[in-house]
Amino acid sequence: MARRGKRRIEAGSGSDSTELARRREETMRPWPTLGYDWDTLGMHLVSREAFRQAEEMLRRAVWLNPFEPRFKVHLAWCLCRENRYAEALTWIEQVPADCMTETVADIKRRIRENQDDGKHT
C-alpha cells in the first residue's frame, strides 16, 4: 500500500492549526479543476444575456466544487443580472472576505442600490 509523505500536524500553534485546516480542506475538496468548464460556459451565457441557462451552468459548477468561491461570485452576478437580489446576497455572503474583493464589493453595492430603490417605490 502506497503512502503519501505527510507530516503529522498536532493541534497547537496557530500556524499548525491553519496548516491542518488547509490540508483538511484540500483532502475534502473534489478534483481541483472540477466545475471550471461549467463556470466558463455559464459566464459566457451571462455575457450573451441567457441568464436562465447561465444560472443552471453556474449552479452545476458550485455543486461540483463548492470550495471554489469564484463560482459563487459568478452565480451571484448572474442572479443580480436577473434582478434576484435577495438570492444573490445569500450566495455572495458565502464568499470569503479576501476573495475577489473588488467584484464582491461591486455586487454588494448593486444589491444595496436596488434594495434601496425598492424601499422608495
Say which CATH number the domain at 62 has.
Answer: 1.25.40.10
- Domain membership of residue 6 (yes or no) is no
- Domain membership of residue 27 (yes or no) is no
- Domain membership of residue 2 (yes or no) is no
28-44: pLDDT as tens digits: 666 778 899 999 999 99
Q: What is the pTM of this model?
A: 0.71
- Domain membership of residue 107 (yes or no) is yes
Q: What is the pLDDT of residue 82?
A: 97
38-72: pLDDT as tens digits: 999 999 999 999 999 999 999 999 999 998 999 99
- Domain membership of residue 52 (yes or no) is yes
- Domain membership of residue 13 (yes or no) is no
Mean pLDDT confidence for 95-117: 92
- pLDDT reading at 119 higher than 90: no
- What is the b/e burial string over 42-80, where b = at least 16 CB atoms within 10 angstroms of the residue's CB? bbebbeeeebeebbbbbbbbbebbeebbbbbbbbbbbbb
- Domain membership of residue 11 (yes or no) is no
Q: Which domain holds residue 55?
A: 34-120
- Domain membership of residue 8 (yes or no) is no
Number of domains in the chain: 1
112 C-beta neighbours (distance < 10 Å), count: 12
Which of 67 and 6 is assigned the larger pLDDT? 67
